[in-house]
Amino acid sequence: MTRTKHRVSLWLALLMIMSLVLAACGNQGGNTGTGGTGNTGTGGGATATTGTGGTGTGTGTGATATTGTGGTGTDMGATATTGTGTGTDAGATATGTGAGAGAGAPATTAAPPECPEAAQGQTVEMWSPLTGPDGDEMTRLAQQFSQENNRGITVRHTAQPEYLQRLNASAAAKKLPTMTVIRAGDIPTMAARNILKPMSEQAMGAIASGNISNDFPEEVWNVGQIKGQRYAFPLDVHPLVMYYNKALFKQAGIPEPGTDKPMTKEEFESAVNKLNQGGNIGWAIGTLFSADTMFQMLVRQFGGSMVNEDGTQATYNSPEAVRALEYIRDQKQKFSPKISGTGDPEVVQFQQGKVGVVFHGPWHISNLQKLPFTGFAPVPQLGERYSVWGGSHQLGLTTEDPAQQTAAGCWIGWLSANSVQWAKAGQLPVRQSVANSPQLAQEAAPIAAVAIEAPAVDLYPPVPDLEGAVMTEASKAIAAVVQGQQKDVKAALDQAVQRSNQIIQQNAKRYGTQ
């Protein structure tokens, strides 16, 4: 054998061995896909990098399964998109939020910038309407920040049961605190009254560097922006939760709802009909808060709106609104005609184990999760688009003092970056990189179960006293219809809209927003 032929034989032997090794690897699960490092998001101060993809299980051919070209960083690196691969985990195009598909490391919210020296030694007085366990959690977080920050900033949190009245009275006495937790619907009113102050560039720079707006749902971000100035920074949303009885679902042979997508109308109605037997109530619908929030949700799900785009006119007497109220009336009459009154009687019935499903706010989580049969899921999609009723706590400044604003900005930035801890208070962190983090399920599993609702929460446009002008009158019409006192749904809504529009016009004159 010549030297040349000998070399060829060696190469052929090596190739055969390599092919056998690769085949064996493929049969045993494939090569690990390391994933391309995602593009980094520049918002929020520190660099946020999307996840590194997951382990790709190769096919029998031993082809390497890898994630693709890395994630797309959206300000905070919140969105990580893996590419194509032949393995079953890395798989054909898979999209993950915050991490690569598979077992990749999750993206985390970028830390806020270094707190400026101008904030040194400041005391931040913060008020809030958080008077329950959520207030205790906020106090704990304020104390943690006070101990951990390197500028000697002290944050003092005080819950105020009537926080709007206290803010108004303190403004008149020129004794306002540094800042306040404020409900989204109160932001435009407090801004118009000059109680909320615009956030300075220094304050916003202390919260985050760059543009981080893409890490928040558009509606929730925009409600704090008035006439080109930012008056509030979003902290959370508190949407409706679908509480369901796991034992009754099992008894009826119904699969439990998932948390990655809402139930469809067909799935939901089939479930509650099956649950509505043997003395059990399939779906508990009350009056007051229960009916009011469901109406606002369904008007939007059915393609309508409560007000026009700029908040100058009530529109909840549209065909979509009539359809929404008729649906609520009919479902209430079918499932729970006797449930009405104050004190959330629909939730009380659920606690007794005789109700399959109830929609209510996340503030009931702390009590309902103590019951072994309680499950948590997003509310279903009953209309053409997915919309969820909800509110939002935001953080606003009530001082123009530069050092105080800067110190408050340092606290807000820290709280936002650590808002997964705030979920323990029964609130859904509104920052998408936090809401989509695996850590949320570890800290607050019931809140993580409804995380997909955050982008679907619809808020009113930032117009002073708008929500009050709308719902004060809408509530009367809703109650009259669902309790059977008013048969003509369109007429009831027409009358309520007329009164709401009168109040909206009066408010426009009062606040000079005409």
Q: Which residue has the higher pLDDT, 427 or 6?
A: 427
Looking at the fold, whether 243 and 226 belong to one and the same domain comes out as no
pLDDT reported for residue 34:
35
Rounded-to-10 torsion of CA 162, 163, 169, 171 = -170
**Given this model, what pLDDT does residue 211 score?**
86
- pLDDT at 328 > cutoff 80: yes
Integer Cα distance of 444 and 239 in angstroms = 15
**What is the DSSP code (8-state) at residue 186?**
G
- Output the average pLDDT for the chain: 84
pLDDT for 511 beyond 70: yes
Residue 32 lies in a domain: no
Residues 152, 250, single domain; the answer is: no
Q: Is the pLDDT of residue 87 over 60?
A: no
Residue pair 223/392 in contact (Cβ under 8 Å)? The answer is yes
Q: What is the mean pLDDT of residues 258-287?
A: 97
Which residue would you say has higher pLDDT here, 423 or 91? 423
Average pLDDT of the segment spanning 448-468: 97
Q: pLDDT confidence of 12, banded at 50, 70, 90?
A: very low
| Statement: residue 42 has pLDDT above 90 | no
At residue 26, the 3 state secondary structure works out as helix
Please give the average per-residue pLDDT across 445-472, as a whole number.
97
Establish if 474 belongs to a structural domain: yes
Residue 66 lies in a domain: no
372: domain CATH number is 3.40.190.10
Of 427, 449, 471, the one marking the end of a domain is 449
Domain boundary among 426, 449, 472: 449
List phi, psi (to 5°) of 161: -55, -40
Q: Are 463 and 487 in contact (CB under 8 A)?
A: no
Residue 288 pLDDT class (50, 70, 90 cuts): very high
Of 407, 422, 449, the one marking the end of a domain is 449
Q: Which two tokens stand for residue 389?
A: 């009723």
Same domain, 443 and 481: no
**Tokens 């969820």 — which residue?**
388
Q: 52 lies in a domain?
A: no
90 inside domain: no
For residues 169 and 181, membership in a common domain is answered with: yes
Cα distances (Å, whole numbers) of residue 123 to 118, 119, 145, 349, 405:
12, 9, 12, 46, 11
Residue 395 pairs in a beta bridge with 181, 233
Are residues 197 and 175 part of one domain?
Answer: yes
| Torsion sign across C-alpha atoms 437, 438, 443, 449 | positive
Confidence of residue 109 (pLDDT cuts 50, 70, 90): low
User: Same domain, yes or no, for 322 and 252?
Assistant: yes
Looking at the structure of the chain, the number of domains it has is: 2
pTM listed for this prediction: 0.79
Residue 111 belongs to a domain? no
* Three-state DSSP class for residue 316: coil
Does residue 406 sit in the same domain as residue 346?
Answer: no
In the predicted model, is pLDDT for residue 48 greater than 70? no
Task: Compute the distance between CA of residue 57 and CA of residue 268 in angstroms, rounded to an integer.
Answer: 36
User: Distance (Å, rounded) from C-alpha 314 to C-alpha 327?
Assistant: 21
Residue 236 has pLDDT above 50, yes or no: yes
Share of the chain above pLDDT 90, in %: 76
Q: Which of 105-114, 180-189, 387-396 has the lowest mean pLDDT?
A: 105-114
> Which pLDDT score is estimated for 108?
53
Rounded to the nearest 5 degrees, what angle is found at the Cα of 380, between the Cα atoms of 250 and 423? 90
Question: Encoding tokens for residue 255?
Answer: 């699969």
State residue 513's pLDDT score.
77
Contacts of 124 (CB under 8 A, 6+ apart): 153, 154, 155, 156, 178, 179, 404, 407, 408, 411
> Which residue range is the domain that position 255 belongs to?
239-388+462-511
Q: What is the mean pLDDT of residues 468-473?
A: 98
Residue 102 lies in a domain: no
User: What confidence score (pLDDT) does residue 111 get?
Assistant: 84
Asked if pLDDT for residue 35 goes beyond 50, the answer is no
Condensed to tens digits (0 to 9), the pLDDT of residues 365-415 reads: 999 999 999 999 999 999 999 999 999 999 999 999 999 999 999 999 999
Whether 373 and 424 map to the same domain: the answer is: no
**Co-location of 160 and 212 in the same domain:** yes
Phi, psi for 224 (deg, rounded to 5)? -90, 0
Please determine, for residue 46, whether its predicted confidence score (pLDDT) is greater than 50: no
331 lies in some domain: yes
- pLDDT range class, residue 303, cuts 50, 70, 90: very high
pLDDT at 455 over 90: yes
Q: What mean pLDDT do residues 243-255 have?
A: 98
Please check whether residue 285 is in contact with residue 453, taking contact to mean a CB–CB distance below 8 angstroms: no
* Judgement on whether residues 159 and 293 belong to the same structural domain of the protein: no
Q: Is the per-residue pLDDT at 194 higher than 50?
A: yes
| 230, 302: one domain | no
- What pLDDT score was predicted for residue 123? 98
| Mean per-residue pLDDT, 291-317 | 98
Quick one: 350 and 471 in the same domain? Answer: yes
Q: What is the pLDDT of residue 209?
A: 86
Task: Give pLDDT, residue 210.
Answer: 82
